[in-house]
A and B are shown apart, each in its own frame.
Chain A
Amino acid sequence: MDQIKFYTLITGASDGFGKALAIECARRKMNLVLVALPGPELSNLAVFIQKNFLVDVKTFEKDLTNEADCYDLHLDTLFLDLHINILINNAGIGNTQMFTEASPEFLKRQIKLNVMAPTLLTSLFVPELKKYSPAYLLNIGSLSSFFYLPKKQVYGATKSFIYFFSKCLRHELKRENISVSVACPGGMNTNFSVSLINRTANGISRISILDPEKVAPIVIGKMLKGKAVIVPGKMNQLSMLLNKLLPSFIKNIVTAKLMNDLKSLPLPSVAIQKDRSYRAA
């Protein structure tokens, strides 16, 4: 009799950290269900993974800011009888922007993708995770949810939601043999625009920036070990520790300084002007 074939579902898989997670999971011989916005990147990634690793890869082009697409995704996996035993809620929109500079449409999309989509998908997929336990649920939060940074207000808040949600849910789902983890990575050199902005950082914030292909193995490894909170990188762990130890007035000085460093972009105007061509994080 055939063994049941299990799949790991990763949202936002075509670019950035999601892509690194997909490759790391394939390296660990997991079959994949990859979800991303429509575009050639997703199928190119699927072809690439299948060429390099002996795993099965299914792709679904969805816009998870649409509730309907979240439901559709769930139905599609049921229809194709894909047994999801690991769910990775990775899709998210990041930004570094003053609140008054962000459009209401952008903020709505950010909250839908960063908060609504993972909540809804978790709710939809938990029955399968239960069925195929031991199972894993990994939510991608952010280090920025621990620091009250200007220009990260809504983003940081959505990631605080992810943190809180994951920590509480972990207790509930433990008895179902589902391990819930939340990863809180710091800055990473993912796509063009993010890597460009990272280059304007200085000091600690610059050395703490990691490459996604280094972070993904750490995160997946710790998820499989059942860790509750995953903070990849020594510098990031140090920031977390200092955050706990230092009095708030010192932290305020440091954050203000960090944000000032991020403020000016000594980069070519063409890179910024042509931003229409670069996909948002």
Chain B
Amino acid sequence: MNIFITGATGYIGNILALRLADSNHIIHALVRDPDKARNLDHPNIKLFKGNITDIDSIKNGMEGCEQVFHLASFARLWARPSDVFFKVNVEGTNNVLAVAVEKNVSGFVYTSSTAVFGTSLNEPFSENDPRIIGFNNDYDLSKCMAEKLVMDYAAEGLHALIVNPSRVYGTGNETYSNPFTRFLKALLKGKFIAIPKCPNVVANYSYVHDVVEGHILAMKYGRRGERYILGGENISYGELFKVVKEMLPGRNVLRIPKTLLKMVGGIQLLRFYLTKKQPAFTPSAINRYYSNTAFSCRKAVEELNYKITPFKNGMAETIHHLKQLYGSN
């Protein structure tokens, strides 16, 4: 089958594209720069130069495809001017949807994020639960708006659905969406890393291979106009700290209190206004790392047959893989 993928050079998209290509599908990958897309070197992957804000390039790439995986996204915590979030995540998604209707594709999976749900309270959050925090960052807002577009197209007949991966870990391209690998690599190299100092705060960690499989299952079994959380185990920072300490003994993990990190964010923001150097994060973006973001994958498990790799196994595989790649000291 011919399958169109956006974001195939990204963290999840790359593994997905290769996995589908290995299963003898022909992949049409829309890439901004074919020369830089070396990680898509596979006889079944065809590269199409373009981007999702250029509708003609989408039309060209989607020609003859039956399915669409739309993963491309501007995934940052902050950017100025903020238009880029809306241009890429909202207008871009609208373009891909419009072309999918035109080409009469039979399946459309949009990769959103659990960021659209915000934070959870005492119990893990599920798909129908309401967002309880405001839209104080552009990424969340743009992804929510894109979801709404997908839902609108689904209501009008396109077989479109949404998957929401949580905090993804596991080896893969070291993109902005893959901080976990960066952290582990730094630890292996003997550098120190910092994690939030709030041992009881819970977050959800999904193994990248589970998420990739979840995409394929969603295309196969997902219902039109539905959302599926693709997550993993809900783990507190305290437990996370313990697991990392066990697997990588003697490494330096610093636990940073919220106020300190907020100050760092504030300094970065100040520096931006003075020097125009983009900050990595801002004070308001910090809050979510100090709030519960626990998710329930029950719907995906029940409806898609989604499988969750236990966190310890996933971490062991990841660390093993990283040691092979970079050695250990």
Q: Which A residues contact B (CB, under 8 angstroms)?
A: 14, 19-20, 23, 40-41, 44-45, 47-48, 51-53, 188-192, 195-196, 199, 210-214, 266-271, 274, 277-278
Do residues A19 and B132 form an inter-chain contact, with CB atoms below 8 A?
A: yes
Residues of A within 8 A of B151 (CB): 277
> Can you give 5 A-B contacts (C-beta < 8 A)?
A48-B129, A52-B123, A268-B87, A274-B149, A277-B152
Which residues of the partner chain B approach A192 to less than 8 Å between Cβ atoms?
A: 135, 141, 144-145, 148
B223 nearest CB across to chain A (Å): 16
- Bound-state CA distance A48–B127 (Å) is 11
Least CB distance from B144 to A in Å reads 6
Chain A residue numbers with a CB within 8 Å of B152 are 274, 277
Minimal Cβ-Cβ distance residue in B for A48: B129
| Cross-interface CB contact of B134 among A40, A53, A195, A269, cutoff 8 Å | A195
Q: Is the CB of A271 within 8 A of B86?
A: yes
Q: When chains A and B are docked, how far (Å) is the Cα of A191 from the Cα of B135?
A: 7
Q: Is the CB of A44 within 8 A of B130?
A: yes
B129 contact set on A, CB distance < 8 A: 44, 47-48, 51
Given contacts A53-B121, A192-B148, A277-B151, 11 further A-B contacts (CB under 8 A): A19-B132, A20-B134, A44-B128, A47-B128, A51-B123, A52-B123, A196-B141, A268-B83, A268-B86, A274-B148, A274-B152
Question: Most chain-A CB neighbours within 10 Å: which of B121, B123, B149?
Answer: B121
Contact with A along B84-104 (1 / 0, CB 8 A): 001100110010000000000
Q: Does B175 contact A (CB under 8 A)?
A: no
Instruction: Say how far A251's CB is from chain B's closest CB, in angstroms.
Output: 27
Q: Is A211 a contact partner of B148 (Cβ separation < 8 A)?
A: no
Do the beta carbons of B91 and A212 come within 8 Å of each other? no
Closest partner residue, chain B, to A188 (CB atom):
B134
SS class, residues of chain A in contact with chain B:
helix
Q: Enumerate chain B residues within 8 angstroms of A211, measured Cβ to Cβ.
A: 133-134, 136
* Closest-CB distance, A96 to chain B (whole angstroms): 17
Contacts of A195 in B (CB 8 A): 134-135, 141
Chain A residues within an 8 Å CB radius of B81: 266
Distance of A211 Cα from B87 Cα, bound (Å): 24
Contact A41 B130 (CB under 8 A): yes
The distance from the CB of A45 to the nearest CB of chain B, in whole angstroms, is 5
Q: How far is the CA of A205 from the CA of B41 in the complex (A)?
A: 50
In the complex, A192→B140 CA distance in Å?
Answer: 10
Check B82 against A48 for contact (C-beta < 8 Å): no
Complex Cα spacing A124 to B90, Å: 45
**B141 near A268: Cβ-Cβ < 8 Å:** no
* Distance, CA A19 to CA B136, complexed state (A): 16
CA distance A23 to B134 in the complex (A): 13
Which chain B residue lies CB-closest to A52? B121
Minimum CB–CB distance for B166 against chain A, Å: 18
A261, B90: Cα distance in complex, Å: 23
The distance in angstroms between the C-alpha atoms of A210 and B141, with both chains bound, is: 15
Contact yes or no, B133 A270, CB < 8 A: no
Are B130 and A48 in contact, with the CB atoms below 8 A? Answer: yes
A271 to B144, CA, bound (A): 11
| B83 neighbours in A (Cβ, 8 Å) | 266-268
Query: Of all chain B residues, which has the CB nearest A191?
Result: B135
B63 at the A/B interface (Cβ < 8 Å)?
A: no
Once bound together, how far apart are the Cα atoms of A234 and B203, in whole Å? 32
Question: Of all chain A residues, which has the CB nearest B88?
Answer: A268
B226 interface residue, CB < 8 Å from A? no
Q: Which one, B82, B130, B148, contacts A277 given CB within 8 A?
A: B148
Chain A: which residue is nearest B86 at the CB level? A268
Q: With a CB–CB cut-off of 8 A, which chain A residues contact B149?
A: 270, 274, 277
Chain B residues with Cβ below 8 Å from A188 are 134
Q: How far is the CB of A179 from chain B (nearest CB, A)?
A: 27
- Bound Cα distance from A40 to B128, whole angstroms: 9
A195-B135, A199-B82, A213-B133 are known contacts. Are A268 and B90 too (CB-CB below 8 A)?
Answer: yes
Whether, in the assembled complex, B275 has its beta carbon less than 8 Å from a beta carbon of chain A, the answer is no
* Chain A neighbourhood of B86, CB < 8 A: 267-268, 271
Contact of B122 among A45, A52, A266 (CB under 8 A): A52
B66 within 8 A of A: no
User: Are A20 and B132 in touch, CB under 8 angstroms?
Assistant: yes
- Asked if B138 CB lies within 8 Å of chain A CBs, one says yes
Give A232 to B130 CA distance when docked, in angstroms.
24
Tell me the complex Cα distance, A277–B123, Å.
30
Q: How far, in whole Å, are A47 and B133 apart by their CA atoms in the complex?
A: 17
A52-B123, A192-B145, A271-B86 as given contacts; A45 in contact with B130, CB under 8 Å: yes
